[in-house]
Amino acid sequence: MTTSPVIADAHTPAPSASTSDDRPVAPHGLGWALFALAIGGLGIGTGEFVPMGLLPEVADGIDASVTTTGHVISAYALGVVVGAPIFAVFGARRPRRALLVALMGVYVLANVLSAAAPSYGTLLAARFVSGLPHGAFFGVASLAAAALVPTERRAWAISTVMLGLSVANLAMVPVATALGHAFGWRMVFLLVAAIGVITILSILRFVPVTPAVTTASMRGELRVLKDPKLLLTLSVGAIGFGGMFATYAYIAPTLTERTGVSEGLVPLYLLFWGAGMVSGNLIGGRLIDRALLPTLAGGLAGFAIALALFSVATLNPYTAAIGVFALGNVLLLGPALQTRLMDVAGEAQTIAATMNHASFNTANALGPWLAGLAYTASGTWASPAWVGVGLAIAGLLLLAASLRVQGHAGVR
């Protein structure tokens, strides 16, 4: 079977990719190294999502309204967007293991400060700082994981790191939320900090030391942000992924008011979503390694179809459960976009990898905002899914534009 030159060459490894001759060797085996990086994703995922389920308790603790306290979630997302390029630029020439330890150190400190925050203002600041290393950690961890394996297994390694985030949604978030209800929300932030400490120790023990990336430079990292291929690929995440957040943000009222399930059953449906995320990670990594762009394009198209079906599936509790699981599988797009960015970034690998998560947080802001407008205009909880359909299709068109630009640029 033949493949078009654009698609075949688009998956060519970036110049800085490791080869079988210069790959670092994990001192205790590849599995332990990837486990150490995934534990970091578990901690960050727990710290990002648990506060959403504890807002009333947090509001009581800092003497603020629930709506005002909700701003601490926005502060975290803003921190992700701001921190990703800053850490990428200033950390581009640093050894990756040392940079990962420093990033997780900031995350640990910020969560300790969150646990000790006496007021709304201090908690807002602490959550902003907590978000700063988020995107950079996932980006650098993805690069570190990809460097440990042959080029044809990069996506599998990246998806293994991302598995920590999926497991956080499936298991840790419900457990940590229950602990927060039982022992107080401050204990949850301390738990997240403890996971961060375990991550640091695991990275120091299991992730190999690598030299600084001497080919990287601050100017080079920033210059790549002018590359239309990179910007369009980032836009695929910022727009196309918005469909997931448009649906997820309103999943509870959709299930209770449209599907007719009780509020007590909503956490069960969220477990289905988390299981879908794990499934998407496990399946996606291997599919991406075999055919990156077909998987990415097919994933966006399949996501649009799944969202359209979900608008109907939510009329029945059983089909809604299947639909929720199916939508969770969209997380396979995360490793796909990460791998695609590595291919188009050239020498500016660090900023490309970290900006991927900044684009996801842009999607996290855009999707729910558009879905909220759609519900206000239509009055039906089917509207968030249809907003998601439009965003997924837009992401697919942006991917096509990226390939077209790459083809005209004569990338070979």
Q: Are residues 254 and 329 in the same domain?
A: yes
Last residue of a domain, one of 184, 214, 244: 214
For CA atoms 393, 398, 404, 406, the dihedral sign is negative
pLDDT in tens, 341-389: 888 877 778 888 888 888 888 888 888 889 889 988 999 999 999 999 9
Domain-embedded: residue 83: yes
What pLDDT is attached to residue 356? 85
- Tokens read off for 377: 């205009």
Number of domains in the chain: 2
What pLDDT is attached to residue 29? 85
Q: Are residues 133 and 161 in the same domain?
A: yes
Q: Which residues of the chain have pLDDT under 50?
A: 1-20, 410-412
Domain-embedded: residue 261: yes
Q: Are residues 156 and 175 in the same domain?
A: yes
What pLDDT is attached to residue 409? 54
Q: Are residues 356 and 371 in the same domain?
A: yes
Last residue of a domain, one of 158, 191, 214: 214
Q: Are residues 343 and 320 in the same domain?
A: yes
Tell whether pTM > 0.75.
Answer: yes
What is the extent of the structural domain holding 69?
Answer: 17-214
Domain-embedded: residue 219: no
What pLDDT is attached to residue 10? 39
Domain-embedded: residue 287: yes
Domain-embedded: residue 289: yes
Provide the CATH number for the domain around residue 83: 1.20.1250.20
For CA atoms 146, 362, 163, 86, the dihedral sign is positive
Q: Are residues 55 and 161 in the same domain?
A: yes
Query: Cα separation of 185 and 207, whole Å?
Result: 32
For CA atoms 273, 276, 281, 285, the dihedral sign is negative
Q: Are residues 246 and 384 in the same domain?
A: yes
Query: Cα separation of 361 and 238, whole Å?
Result: 7
Q: Are residues 176 and 244 in the same domain?
A: no
Domain-embedded: residue 70: yes
Domain-embedded: residue 119: yes
